[in-house]
Amino acid sequence: MLILIRRIRQVAVEYKRGDIERLLKEDLWVLGRRAYEIRRRLYGDRTTFISNMVLNYTNVCVIGCSFCAFYRPPGHPEAYGYTPEEAAKRVLAVDARYGIRQVLIQGGINPEIGIEYFEELFRAIKRRVPHVAIHALSPLEVDYLSRRERATYREVLERLREAGMESMPGGGGEILVDRVRRELAPRKIDSATWLRIMEEAHKLGIPTSATMMYGHVETLSDIAEHLYKIAELQEKTRGFMAFIAWNFDPGTSELGKRVRYPKTSASLLRMVAVARIVFRELIPHIQSGWLTTGPETAQLAMYFGADDFGGTLYEEKVLEWKRAEAQIDRREDVVDIIRSAGFTPAERDNMYNVVKVYGQGGQD
């Protein structure tokens, strides 16, 4: 144990902001080889995934992020919001059809929804499908609930945890540089608030994911700053389970009028490789980010340091057109994608514990 802790601390100290920026400029194939060696040492040829769904409980949002084509303002004819009962029934239906292990719950900042809504929803899910883990909300939603309920972040998180929330995704991270955040979404929480809420969750024993959305108005220096801030918090709390980088997709968003084309697949491979080199064991899992760049790039990402494919993402609506393009309709599709890349698929639970290994060549 002492050896592991010492190794983790060395990784965190080794890569400062300038070091990370230099890594981001290195030859892609050199980065890939280094990242793959680390991945092989930690996980061999095993790649994990989770059978899950995304419950987008509302598309109403008052934040107005320029990169989001999903949200609708209050009163919009296309606005929707599920009641807790309707939302829970959707989880039951997907579980009955596919058999899932996790529900990822996220939506917008809807002024009509308070903390009691989530308490009722979480309890309804755990009462009916207790085997489905609740991976829910984001620092932005926690901040909103804190202000709405006039409660501390800790009090909000404690209530959500008591109702059944087991972990928290890293939504709203984008780039943790305030100049970038003001340009993307001036009404969104700043980077210090995002990090503070994540730290509070970690202190309460609520593990989270860390995310990064790249490919818009950020610089390499901004990306390096983002990765360093996440590593710095992780060294302190050890609460991040995984890191997920995803590519901005213009779609029909307002930002898409300025940034008309997404970054190439090579950009994702670079982000995955640098994340694996910088985080090593500090953040144990790196996801391949298949939704925005496609399953083929996700296969390559396994050779650039990714050890987790992510989820099946049934019912995902925020990037619904990308979900439809991927043609991942069942867990067997994910298993085949991982196998065909030359890795051994392993289904995991919400806490990244392997629950089933699928052998190569159809041997399950």
Return the HEC string of 63-80.
CCCCCCCCCECCCCCCCC
Exposed/middle/buried for 46, CB within 10 Å: 0-12, 13-18, 19+?
Answer: middle
Choose between 362 and 100: higher pLDDT: 100
SS3 223: helix
**Quick check: 322 pLDDT over 60?**
no
The response to whether 304 counts as a known ligand-binding position is no
**Quick check: 346 pLDDT over 80?**
yes
Choose between 130 and 70: higher pLDDT: 130
Q: What percent of the chain is predicted at pLDDT more than 70?
A: 91
The response to whether 120 counts as a known ligand-binding position is no
1-57: pLDDT as tens digits: 333 333 444 444 478 999 999 999 999 999 999 999 999 999 999 999 999 999 999
Q: Domains of the chain (ranges plus CATH)?
A: 16-349 (3.20.20.70)
pLDDT at 358: 94
Q: Please tell me the total number of residues recorded for the chain in this structure.
A: 364
Least confident window among 15-24, 232-241, 330-339, 355-364: 355-364
Give, as one character, the DSSP assignment of residue 360.
G
pLDDT at 255: 76
Strand (E) or helix (H) holding 335: helix 331-340
**Quick check: 85 pLDDT over 90?**
yes
114-148: pLDDT as tens digits: 999 999 999 999 999 999 999 999 999 999 999 99
The response to whether 68 counts as a known ligand-binding position is yes
The response to whether 67 counts as a known ligand-binding position is yes
pLDDT at 63: 87
Q: Which residue has the tokens 């929803």?
A: 121
